[in-house]
């Protein structure tokens, strides 16, 4: 099993991020309850996804995350050189492009490596927040809290939209595909209020 400390820290980080994004949402208590009940499932799904994935992105994120802990550019260069993936100049160029760097392919391996290391070092605060090291059993995974938060919020929005669509259907209200849960909820409330006013006026 994963360590309790790792799990609690990651859960708190993602829950805080999700709450902040939905601060203006009408049913914030309902959202919080859903988040707390489903955050572990979304984290687990991300771990499974990473565990079954074999792309070069895994090496990229590992190097970036480990690079944020280095004291200087030389330390980052050593990390990169240790990875067999980056033995060739072409693979290093692909990594540089992944980082969003404009690369002069005519430059030497060492020149490109220096640019990559400098970029990671300058942006280490940003990358240390973007990527979180998470231990599960004897494996270490590099997770992206922003991605997990997005998936958690989207699953909540999808659920609430489906719930509101069901209510609207019972009331014979038309719902458009582009309408979100909040739009449908307002439509339902408006309908109920009009019905109540209509009955009072009879």
What is the C-alpha to C-alpha distance for residues 68 and 131, in angstroms, rounded to an integer? 10
Asked if 66 contacts 124 with a C-beta cutoff of 8 angstroms, the reply is no
SS3 34: helix
CA distances from 185 to 3, 18, 138, 176, 202 (A): 41, 21, 46, 13, 26
Going residue by residue through the chain, which has 202 residues, state the pLDDT in tens, using 9 for 90 and above. 444 455 677 778 888 877 777 665 556 777 888 888 999 999 999 998 887 877 888 899 999 999 999 999 999 999 999 999 999 999 999 999 999 999 999 999 999 999 999 999 999 999 998 998 888 778 888 999 999 999 998 888 888 888 878 887 887 778 777 777 777 777 777 877 777 676 666 5
Given CA atoms 62, 68, 73, 78 in this order, what sign does their dihedral have?
A: negative
Q: What is the pLDDT, as a whole number, of residue 147?
A: 92
Q: What is the pLDDT, as a whole number, of residue 165?
A: 82
Asked if 56 contacts 85 with a C-beta cutoff of 8 angstroms, the reply is yes
Q: What is the pLDDT, as a whole number, of residue 201?
A: 61
Residue 125 class from Cβ within 10 Å (0-12 exposed, 13-18 middle, 19+ buried)? Answer: exposed
Q: What is the pLDDT, as a whole number, of residue 167?
A: 80
Domain boundaries, given as residue ranges, for the chain: 4-54+144-200, 69-130
């Amino acid at each position: 099993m994963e360590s309790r400390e790792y799990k609690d820290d990651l859960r708190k980080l993602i829950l805080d991020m999700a709450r902040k994004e939905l601060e203006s949402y009408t049913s914030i208590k309902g959202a919080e309850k859903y988040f707390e009940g489903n955050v572990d499932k979304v984290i687990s799904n991300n771990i499974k996804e990473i565990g079954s994935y074999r792309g070069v992105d895994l090496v990229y994120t590992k190097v970036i995350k480990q690079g944020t802990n280095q004291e200087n550019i030389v330390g980052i260069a050593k990390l990169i050189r240790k990875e067999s993936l980056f033995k060739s100049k072409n693979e290093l160029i692909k990594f540089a492009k992944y980082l969003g760097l404009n690369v002069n392919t005519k430059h030497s391996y060492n020149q490109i490596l220096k640019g990559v290391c400098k970029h990671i070092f300058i942006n280490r605060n940003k990358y240390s927040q973007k990527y979180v090291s998470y231990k599960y059993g004897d494996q270490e995974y590099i997770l992206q809290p922003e991605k997990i938060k997005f998936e958690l919020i989207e699953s909540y929005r999808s659920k609430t939209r489906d719930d509101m669509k069901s209510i609207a259907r019972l009331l014979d209200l038309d719902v458009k595909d582009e309408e979100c849960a909040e739009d449908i909820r307002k439509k339902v409330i408006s309908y109920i209020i009009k019905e109540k006013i209509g009955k009072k006026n009879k």
